[in-house]
Each structure stands twice: as structure tokens, then as C-alpha cells.
Amino acid sequence: MRRTALLVSAALLTGLLPLASAGAATGAEEPPPVPVDRFEGEVPFASQPAEGLFTWGGDSDDPPELELAARDDAPEGDKVLSGTYDISGYGGFTHDFAANEPGHDWSAHKGIRFWWDGKNTGKRVNFEIKDGGANGEASELWTASFTDEWTGWHQVEIPFTDFAYRTDYQPVGGIDQNLGLTEMWGYALTLPTGTPGTFAMDAVELYGKADPALTTKVLTGSSVYPVKEGDTAGVRISVATTGSAPLAEPVTVAYESAGGSADAGTDYAPVKGEFTFPAGTASGATHTVSVPTLKDKTAEPAETIPLKLTVTGAKAPAETPQVVIDAHGLPYLDTKLPVKRRVADLLSRMSLEEKAGQMTQAERNAVGTGGDIAAYDLGSLLSGGGSTPTPNTAAAWAKMIDGFQLRAQATRFQIPLIYGVDAVHGHNNLVGATVLPHNIGLGATRDPGTAEKAGAVTAAEVRATGIPWDFAPCLCVTRDERWGRSYESFGEDPALVKQMETVVQGLQGARDGKDLDRDDKVLATAKHFVGDGGTEYGSSTTGSYTIDQGVTKVTRQELEAVHLAPFQEAVDRGVGTVMPSYSSLDIIGDDEGPVKMHADAAMINGVLKDRMGFDGFVISDWQAIDQLPGDYASDVRTSVNAGLDMIMVPSAYKDFRTTLIDEVKAGRISGKRIDDAVSRILTQKFKLGLFEKRSVGTDTSGAAAIGSAGHRAVARTAAAESQVLLKNAGGVLPLKKSQKVYVAGSNADDIGNQTGGWTVTWQGSSGKITDGTTVLEGMKKAAPGATISYSKDASAPTEGYDVGVVVVGETPYAEGIGDVGNGNDLELTPADQAAVDKVCGAMKCAVLIVSGRPQLIGDRLDDIDALVASWLPGTEGDGVADVLYGAKPFTGQLPVTWPKSLAQLPINVGDTAYDPQFPFGWGLTTLRTPPGGGTLTLKALALAAAAAQKAGSAEAGRAVVGKARLLVQQKVGQDITPTVAKPFADADHLLLSGRYADAVAKLTEAYRAA
């Protein structure tokens, strides 16, 4: 099988690559192929800025393993690129050309080809090329694919005309969204997911002579042109060239209205004709074809009129544009009717196929330009974490979503999409948005008002970009800080989580849903139902995860009291959607063993919908039904029959919809269950006002408030209130503006670390990833003119300073990637430890821990004068500086127990054995001095607490218990023994539960034990 038509040495190959188009200069009709990769060792395993091959993936075990392997059957040379993979999320490999050399010119060639060792898997492999921009990691991605449906070596040829622009990729600069082929930076392959596999490839090369149509193309202004019955649609047709040069040759376009669901002569006046863009026409020139529609005074669904185009001299549009006569006169369109009647009318008109489409949610990248939205009657799209438009601006988000909504206008009933996004601490996917503290920080504020304002800021910024649905809040009750999602929880006590659910009103407005159609409110999602925060360490079977997506093993009493209680609160608050957990539930004593929550009908249908009275709809998590046992048909029917109403199937939307239809036709899913699901979905769409907004697009007037001073002020307050002062020996804090301050540590000046995971991308990242103020910058603004020096690693001399501030902690992660044991622990890095040791050994010091969960600091606690749990404060480092310099007092309290060692985990308030470093609810304050009087004062406070409890006065009760807590903390100092810690933590739980007298009694017990 060895091919010998073109053999070149490594040295010759190296010289050839930068001149990739030189083969066309031979004058031959078909130029010889030009090598890109021969895999003989000429290209190293390396990454930018050097040239090289490198791997990537969604989590630590997703990147494939690559090697250059010698094979006797290699199609070219002696070696091939071979690899193994087992990908749960996404993974693949890239060949980037050197960033410090010019991009390659591939414009003289027809396409790219390579040899692939087929395994006949039937799986699709995506192949991408990189065009424009500064380098391979800052370029546009253009994608095509092939299916592995043969055995043995086969040469795959992909013409450049087959590549489509990847709308989910975020290039950096020099981008025109035109495949010019004159500045190419390499290629990438995305490998199949779900099952382990092996692959081999060889001899990547450019082939053939360029297609002239690549340099000139005809475009339409839109794929869909909705028009009211009786009005005239104007279909815009334009011509464009690579590099925007004038046309070298004339381009002729013939058009004809034909086909579609509208009747010529009855619904519209047919059109037919031809026009020419002459040679010399400027790129971008436009011609408009008018299509008149006719009134027939009959109420009817939308009707389509395709305008077929025949192009000579250029590449034709990828799609035939359609004029759509809007649906009209039908009851579901009548805004004066109650939502229930509108839903019933629309449901009665829909086919099974249309209903199945409403239950299907796809990821934006999977639908590309959106043609499948109408083809499959899709009801919903989402952006996964970091899946953003280009550029990542508010205007681009709105334009993208309006474009997707336009596609839905080509369906019979023009049912709008409901677009969802994970905005878990502000509109965190959008660069420049206000990023608030993660939930763990909001829990530390103990301030329901702040939580509601945080939700309101998030909703306003999300809705201003065209998105009506937020996959938040997480109502998990975190019970083990080894969990990589700990920071998504408000805390370890369900009473605290319930208290902070005011965020639902911040997002949605009124409990009855009457505010959902406002341009500053979004549909909220209570997640993850139920027990995701209680999974046992070591129980996860997802990739390299250790605890996330594992098994929650509880008694029925614990399930009700700890994990279900927050969801009843959310239902009472009118939350619109609920998302089940990836995890499994194992109820002790029922002998059923672990049941995946996406299959748990007793919990979803029985508890959530029937007992709790939830009337919104249930949305699955990302690809979660794939984790159910059985084949795909079983996954679909089990999850839908268990009560799931919409299924998040990011790229498998076609298979899901087809399978769902087949299961209904076979009688394994009832029509009644389908109607219930679709009714729930349509109800929320009507409440959101999506039917009324579909023809006008996104109201972007609110975009001016994104990242505004007003919104950042809310985030700043939340950041200040979230700071928990754990220790303050000698009154080191607050700082004085006259002091000389030495600042050190990895998290002092890093906005990415400060905001954590789920920021701009799914996992987040270190560095300047968005707009905001770091802790260091906030300190300098808070004390202008003061001496504030910064040495990240504390390598600068420490002499001459009054106090040190060392900001340390974690780097970003999300979900199971952050699990302890999956490449993570609860220890400070060696560099952070060294910075703490050096600064605190040289001067009085305050240590701030910026992290999503407690860090083990006990071995250094004696050397630290002041210790602050800063959590993940978001983009407003000014809020941290506010409390450091005393502009605002420290008032935060621990939302979780701070352990002494990893061996103690899990450790939570209410445990029989309880010996933490700092108990749940601990938090010193600089707001006021503790009261004096000892036990006499506590007796008086006990009487006041009893009176407040009897009167039902929450404000008075909290104030009384707060005074008792301060008195106890003053006496205890750092001598926190188990006999102090347990009643102290229990008192905070009682306070959250409204039992003020009992709380003071517990605090009195702690005082006496100190």
C-alpha cells in the first residue's frame, strides 16, 4: 500500500511548508500535492508559539495519547501518527504552524487530504482548518467532517468548499469570517466521544487546483424573510469576493419562487427573473428581489415561499432563502386570551413531530447556521460554558440569538425558541459583564437582600443579550468540600440555602410569573434535583471524577430535611424550571440501590411534580440521559417517563427527536405524557412573552447597563459582605491608610483566579480574562498615595513595611474537574506557602484565601495575625479592599465548616463528632464591639430572643442572637475546642431556622465551655 509518488526529505519539507502554494506555479493543470504533515518526525510535539502537534480535551482524561509509530503498511514513509482515546466530553489534537513565521498560503489548491486507518465505527470525525488571525490559537476555525465507515487505510479528500465557519469559536483579531486560504495556521481533529478507540493517520497534504468559485460568492441577506400577509418581502442578494476585490468576471443570478407550503396565485404573486453583477462590480453590491404576498382573510399557520437561485460565475448561497407569511388569526396568537387557553389551542394543532421538537434542546454550535431549527422543529438552544458568539459582545449575543429565532419563524406555528445559558454568578460567559461572588460567597453574606439584588443584576444583563432562561440557581447543599462544585452551593445547611433563595425573585420577579415578560427578568432553574451536594467520596464513575456525579446515600429523613427542603422553597417561590442531577440517589432501607436522578420517576413525578406541586418544566443536564443504563431508546423512554420534559442533547438532537417519536408510536411513551411536557414548555414561553417578541427581536436597550457602575456597585457590596474574618489578633485589620503595605501571593492581582470557574469559559482560567478590579488594584484605589508594594512570590525585600497582605488560594476549576483527588487538594501551593511563611515571618500579616472552599491552613495559623476567607469575590476587588481598609465592616459568616484536616471530611453542622478549625457560622466583625457582662448579658439576651421568637420578629431575633455570638467569639478567641464548636455551629443553624431563644441557649453553652 506504500505510496511513492511524492517522497521528500525532512529538510526539503521544512523548506516547502511556508510556500505551500508554490506547486500551482508549475503551470500544470493539476498541481502536484504539497505536503503539510508526513509524520516522520519533522514536526515535534509542541504548542504555540512553536510549531507542533498537541492534544486538548474537556477534562483531564479527555486528551488523546499520541505517538509517531513505525508501520510497515504506512501509506507514506515509515511512520504514521497513531493514538488512543476515551473521551467523555470533548477531545482531539491540533497541528499549529509556528506563530513567529508567516501563515501559509493554501489558496492555489482545491482541498486538503490525508490517509485514515478506518475502524468502521460509523462515528463522525470533525476536521478543522485555521484561517486568519494572529496565529493558530487566535484564528477562525472552519470545520468539515468525515465518517469512519471503512476498514483499513483510505484517503480522505475534503474540498475547501465543504468547510463551514465555526460560529462557536472566539478568535482574537484579523478576522473576516471569509475562508481566504491565504493565511493558514494549521488544522485540528475532534475525535468521537462515548467509547474508547484508536486511530492512525498519515500524509496530510494539499491537492488539486483551486476552485474559482472560492474567490467569489453570492450571499443572501437572510435565510428567512417573515412578512405579514398582504405585505411584500424584499429578498436581498449580494456578491462578495475574497479580499473585497471588484468582480473579475460577471456573475449572473436567476431566481424563481417555487415549492414551499404557500400556494402561488392564492397566497403570493409568483416571481421569476434574472440579473447580472457585471465585471468590475464592487464586492458587497446588493440586488433586491420583491415577493408580493396576497391577503385571503383566512386564519392559518405560517406558509413558506422558497426563492430558488441559480448562480453562474460564483459560489451559490449555501441555502435557498425563504419568504414566510406569518401565522395569523389563530387563537394561540391572541394576547388577550389566558395563557392556559393559548397553550391548549396551540397544542391541539401540533403534530407529534412538532411536539417532539419542542422537547429537544441542542447546543448552538451543533446547529451551525441554524437550518436544522426549522427542519427539526427544535424548541430550545443553549450555550454550553464558554460557547460564545464572535466577537463576545452583548450586541453579538443579541444578533446571534435573533438569527436563531428567525429560523424558528420558518416553522408552521412559528413557536419561538427558548435559549438557555449558565449564568451562575452574573452573565459569566460574556466578557465585560458584572461577575458577582459565587454562591458560596453569597451564603457567607447571610443577606437575602443581597442575594436578590445579585439575581436581579444577573437577569438584567442576561436578558439584555436576548437570553430569557438561566440555568441557575444551584440549590445544592454541599456536604463534602472535596466536591468540585462546592462553590456553587450557598452552604452546608439547608436552612441557609433556603434563606438565600430570594435569588429566584431577583431572577424571575413575582412568584406568579407575571414579571417574566419584562426585559430585565429571566426564567430561573433550580438545580440539581436532588442530592448532588451529598455524593459520597469515591462513588463517581464519570471519568477521573472522584465525587461529582457520584452516589448520594441517605436515609429518607435526611433526604427530606437536607436535600429536598430547598426545592420545596423554590417551588413555593414559583421557579420556572428544575434540572435533575447527574448523581444517583440511594435511599437507605428501600432496597432499590442507587438510581440515576434522570431516571427517578418517584422523585421527579412523585415528589417534585405531584407532592410539591411544581408546574414548570424539567430540563435534563448536558447529555445526562446518556449515563442511564440500557440502549439509547431505553435512555429516552426512561427519562421522559420519569418526568423530564425537555432533554439537553447538545449534538444528538436528531437522534433524540427521532427516537422519541418512535417510542411514542410504539406505545412505550404515552401521548398524554408528551402533551403534559409540551404544555409545560409552551406555558413558560408564553409567560416570557417570547411569542410577542419574536417579530421585533431583542430589546438591547438594557445592554448599556451591562457591567455598569450601578451593577458593579451591587457586586462590590456582595463581595464586601462575603468576606469572613476568621482571625484578627492584635487588631491588624482594618488597615490604616498611613501604613506601608507589602502585598504578595498568587491571587492578589489575578482577575481570573478571583472570579473562579464558570467565568468566560466553563473551567475559567487565570489571568486578565475579563474586566474588573483585582484585590491589589482595589487596595491601591482605597488608599491613594499610600505605599503599597507588590511581589507575587514575596521575592522582593520585606524590610521597612508595617504590615503584609498575602492573597493566596485556588486557581479556577468547574464541576468534577475540581474534585479533590482529580489533580486537586485543599492545600496551598508550595509557592503560596512560601509567600505566607516569608511575609508573616517578617512582619504583622493578614492572609486572604481566595478559593471556592476552605483550605487547610492550620499548620500556619499561629504565625498568621489575621485570616480572611475571601471565597471567589468576582470582578469587584474594590469590595475586598472596602473591608480591608475599614470603609465597610467585616460581617460575613462561614457558610461551611472549615476543617482542620482532609481526614475530617465530610464535616458539617449537626455532626455528633465536631472538631473543626472554625465552626459553621464563625465570623468576627469590625462593625461593633462585643457587649460586656458575660453570663448576665447572655441571660438578658435569652429573654429578648424568646420575646422576638414569640412575636415572630426575624429582625429583632437576628440582632439579639448576633450580639450573643459576638460575646462568645470574643471570649473564645482562637481556642476553638469541640465543646465550643458544636454548640456554636448548632446555634447558627437554629438562628437560620427562626429559633432565636434556642440559639442563644446554645451560644450560652459555648460561652461556658470556653
- Catalytic residue set: 621, 815
662 closest CA partner among 642, 635, 680: 635
The answer to whether 727 touches 861, Cβ cutoff 8 Å, is: yes
Can you spell out the DSSP letters for 918-939? B-TT--B-SSSPPP--HHHHHH
- The residue ranges of DSSP E strands in 561-663, in sequence order, are 577-580, 584-587, 595-596, 617-618, 647-648
The H-or-E segment that residue 429 falls in is none
Phi and psi dihedrals of 105, rounded to 5? -105, 110
DSSP 268: B
| CA-to-CA dists, residue 948 to 386, 430, 931, 1004, angstroms | 48, 45, 19, 17
Report DSSP letters for 865-917, one per residue.
SEEEEEE--TTBHHHHHHHHTTSS------SS-B-S-GGG-S--TT-SS---S
Rounded to 10 deg, the angle between the 671-687 and 339-349 helix axes is 130
Q: What is the DSSP letter of 300?
A: B
What's the CA gap between 101 and 629, in Å, rounded? 51
d(CA 812, CA 830): 17
232 strand-pairing partners: 292
642 CB neighbour count, 10 Å cutoff: 23
Least Cα distance to 364 among 321, 414, 399 occurs for 399
List C-alpha distances in Å: 217 to 128, 257, 283: 21, 21, 10
Would you tell me how many other CB atoms lie within 10 Å of the CB of residue 288? 11
- Sole residue written with cell 468534577: 816
Name the burial class of residue 72, with classes exposed (0-12), middle (13-18) and buried (19+) by CB atoms within 10 angstroms of its CB: exposed
**Parallel/antiparallel/unpaired status of strands 91-96 and 124-131:** unpaired
* Residue 18 vs residues 173, 182, 395: alpha-carbon distances, Å: 21, 11, 38
DSSP 773: B
